[in-house]
């Protein structure tokens, strides 16, 4: 896993440096830090979704413009995707399982922007989310909310790769010659199983996206 993450980081770094050297006016770097609100969809009989759980994401953003209002957008982020399920089985009815999962995310998106007016422009984006699991913990509570297990390590039971479709929109406001503040909302809809073994659990989240481009 370390080799995969190291190789990915080196490839992205090389790509960013090359883009800056070759087309500095068409490439931008930024920083992001924002909350996520996630849930888990269960296809396992006797296990149901049980509400939203908050998480957090932060990292580096990169936009590669190939036309005035069109760009390939990517990032290198550390994202916490939490979620909760509840058992409906007779043996442990009401038992709650809270998943606390952490991923290195490298999304690949197409970004479409409007023309700038008075320093403000709007954008929409769509693409593929790629997540690589680096940590997986689980809390288990009984129906009366007493703790059965806390921070149980479930990394070996968790799928390493998580794929998703990402759609989002937002606004960008220019505050300097090269500096912009960005705010928006995105839906990251997971379509692969987040665990190994039989049955399927899929995680999705809403991101309240905040970023600064330099």
Opening angle at CA 29, ends 102 and 182, nearest 5 = 80
Mean pLDDT split into 10-residue runs, the chain, 214 residues: 53 52 70 96 90 95 93 97 88 87 97 95 97 96 88 95 97 92 97 89 96 95
57-106 residue pLDDT tens: 999 999 999 998 999 999 999 999 999 999 987 667 789 999 999 999 99
In whole angstroms, give the CA distance from residue 107 to residue 29: 15
Sign of CA dihedral 65, 68, 70, 74: positive
Domain ranges within the chain, ordered by starting residue: 24-120+136-213
Say how many CA atoms lie within 13 Å of 207 toward its Cβ.
26
Query: How far apart (Å, rounded) are the C-alpha atoms in residues 59 and 12?
Result: 13
CB 200 within 8 A of CB 47: no
Q: Is 210 helix (H, G, I), strand (E, B) or coil?
A: strand
pLDDT for res 101 = 97
The residues pairing with 40 across neighbouring beta strands, listed in sequence order, are 203
């Amino acid at each position: 896993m370390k080799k995969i993450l190291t190789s990915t980081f080196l490839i992205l770094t090389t790509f960013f440096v090359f883009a800056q050297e070759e087309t500095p006016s068409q490439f931008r770097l930024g920083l992001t830090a924002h909350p996520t609100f996630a849930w888990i969809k269960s296809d396992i009989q006797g296990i149901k979704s049980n509400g939203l759980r908050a998480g957090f994401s932060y990292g580096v953003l990169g936009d590669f413009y190939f036309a005035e209002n069109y760009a390939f957008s990517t990032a290198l982020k550390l994202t916490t995707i939490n979620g909760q399920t509840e058992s409906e089985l007779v043996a442990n009815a009401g038992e709650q399982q809270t998943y606390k999962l952490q991923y290195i995310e490298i999304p690949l998106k197409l970004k479409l922007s409007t023309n700038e007016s008075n320093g403000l422009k709007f954008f929409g984006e769509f693409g593929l989310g790629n997540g690589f699991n680096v940590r997986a913990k689980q809390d288990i509570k009984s129906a009366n909310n007493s703790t059965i297990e806390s921070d149980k390590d479930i990394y070996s039971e968790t799928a390493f790769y998580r794929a998703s479709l990402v759609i989002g929109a937002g606004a960008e406001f220019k505050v300097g010659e090269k500096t912009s503040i960005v705010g928006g909302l995105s839906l990251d809809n997971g379509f692969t199983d987040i665990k190994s073994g039989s049955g399927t659990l899929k995680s999705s989240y809403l991101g309240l996206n905040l970023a600064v481009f330099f």
